[in-house]
Structure 1
Amino acid sequence: MQFIVLTAFYAILHEKQEQLVRLKTCKANLESVQDEFFYNEKICSYPELSPYSWHGTLAAKFEDIRLGGFLTSYIDLENRQLNEVISLVDNKISEIELEIEALKQRIGYLEEQARREKEKQTK
């Protein structure tokens, strides 16, 4: 009976460890994407419009949309939204690390119990 319980706890521990690896990989990828967003932010405002390339009412509206709408949304995604997701992943990583530690403690306790039972049976 104890063997079955231990086997189940080991399976759960293994799954949690796999989840932890996946989440850490996910966090690293998100941070890499965020770095790329930061690096490429300047692209949102290129090419700059000059009186010789394009001017007038349509050019001003285009510039308003590009800088006021698109760039603002881009910066929001780059900073606030990605930070929120990274924070959520960080919280989940911490939660799973705590679960892993609790599982390891429980497994240790069960192994000790099994060892004691085995000693009693051999006496």
Structure 2
Amino acid sequence: MQKFAMFFSYSPETWAKMMAKPEDRTSAVSAAVEGVGGKLDSLYFMMGEKDGFVLFSVPDTGTAAALALAVNSTGAFDSVQTTQLIDAVDLPGVLRVAGNARGTYQRPGA
């Protein structure tokens, strides 16, 4: 399973509907993630540029993209941004590959 963070901002209309009928959105988010074969790790709301984020695990990048498209297609959001996460234990391997790639890459104008 691969881990992702999905940052989101609700539309003003969605906030108005949620204020009129307050509810915990965790079960709805969990159902969406489980519906594509994934697992919800956590859902947080926050103050700032984005309204909240979801941490979840799904089988692959394509599944994460499909989930993001499905969520965004509802019209409830002004923005949805999905980012793949890298476990700290995997970083050394990523850095080794990056080091090899850097040795073969020629920067512009070189």
Q: Which structure features the higher share of strand residues?
A: 2
Query: Which one has more relative contact order, counting CA pairs under 8 Å at least 6 apart?
Result: 1
TM > 0.5: no
- State the TM-score, normalized to the length of structure 2: 0.21
- State the TM-score, normalized to the length of structure 1: 0.20
Q: Which structure features the higher share of helix residues?
A: 1
